[in-house]
Amino acid sequence: MRDRSVAKLKIATWNINSVRHRIALVARFLRDEQPDVLALQETKVTDDLFPADPIRKLGYVHQAIHGQKAYHGVAILSRLPFRETSTQDFCREGHARHMGVTLQNGVELHNFYVPAGGDIPDPVLNGKFAHKLHFLQAMEKFFAARKSRKNDPVLLVGDLNVAPLESDVWSHKQLLDVVSHTPIETKLLGEAQAAFEWTDATRRFVPPDQKIYSWWSYRAADWEASDRGRRLDHVWASPGIKDALTSQKIVKRMRGWQKASDHVPVVVELDV
DNA sequence: ATGGTAGCACCGCTA
């Protein structure tokens, strides 16, 4: 008999762009993919109006919800119980952009919705861009202060609103001055990643010369034909859990669903 | 070179 058992853990992250508008798609995704945990961003709803019951009926009875009216909002929906939940104030504007849980199995999960940052890539001219840079620095500080815990099993997921690699965007040259791919953002994201020695789960399985995206604009006439995507949605694994990763996928086909979000889920599996 | 779409709230904001 084995003295320790290995369990599969499947985690998904998805910017849903209104959980109430797309509740049927959430149900379809959960039935299709059967993740143990789904982290949502841009739920766009206060906690009292969150569609908890339909999600509970699908088996996701453990719900850590942090929302606000009309904008932002995050949630963690789980079949596994939580040992604890917490929200951190990375956001100086007081937006609902972080939800953290520790699962019963000891895995700690942080769900982030990093500010998009507006259109002008200059923190002096654009307060929203300044806020985004501040938020990324706050993430770096938070995990730098906890670096002694990097060998614990910790995951960071969410819409980080930065496409760090050249192959994370459809045209590196044309996006260098477009918010999400500017050097100042990719540098700060890299520093946040280095602060806890995070492993980028998608890039652990997909080589850096291969283009891969998780978001396609609503403004394209044909998102699939033009394929001007960006990889804004990420799963990061701590040194303590990275070797447990067994797969990742970005569920591109969901961008073609009726009433699709402009983001598609990233799904990882681990043996923990 | 520009403008294109979507959701929510409320007649504009954010993405």
Domains of chain A, start order? 11-271 (3.60.10.10)
Query: Closest by alpha carbon to A101, among A85, A117, A118?
Result: A85
* Nucleotides in B strand less than 7 A from protein CB: 3-9, 14-15
pLDDT in tens, chain A (272 residues): 555 678 999 999 999 999 999 999 999 999 999 999 999 999 999 999 999 999 999 999 999 999 999 999 999 999 999 999 999 888 888 999 999 999 999 999 999 999 999 999 999 999 999 999 999 999 999 999 999 999 999 999 999 999 999 999 999 999 999 999 999 999 999 999 999 999 999 999 999 999 999 999 999 999 999 999 999 999 999 999 999 999 999 999 999 999 999 999 999 999 99
* pLDDT reported for residue A27: 98
B14 C1' closest Cα residue: A71
The reported pLDDT for the residue numbered A64 is 98
Q: How many CB atoms lie within 10 A of CB A267?
A: 21
pLDDT of residue A92: 86
A11/B10 CA-to-C1' distance in Å: 37
| DSSP 3-state of A201 | helix
pLDDT of residue A1: 54
The residue lying closest to nucleotide B3, measuring its CA against C1', is A219
- Say which nucleotide is closest to residue A21, CA to C1' distance: B7
Q: What is the DSSP letter of A263?
A: B
CB of A169 closer than 8 Å to CB of A163: yes
Q: How far: A219 CA to B3 C1' (Å)?
A: 9
Using alpha carbons, list the distances in angstroms from residue A267 to A148, A181, A230: 27, 23, 17
pTM of the model: 0.97
Protein CA at A221 to nucleotide C1' at B6, angstroms: 13
Q: Residue A31 CB: number of other CB atoms within 10 A?
A: 10
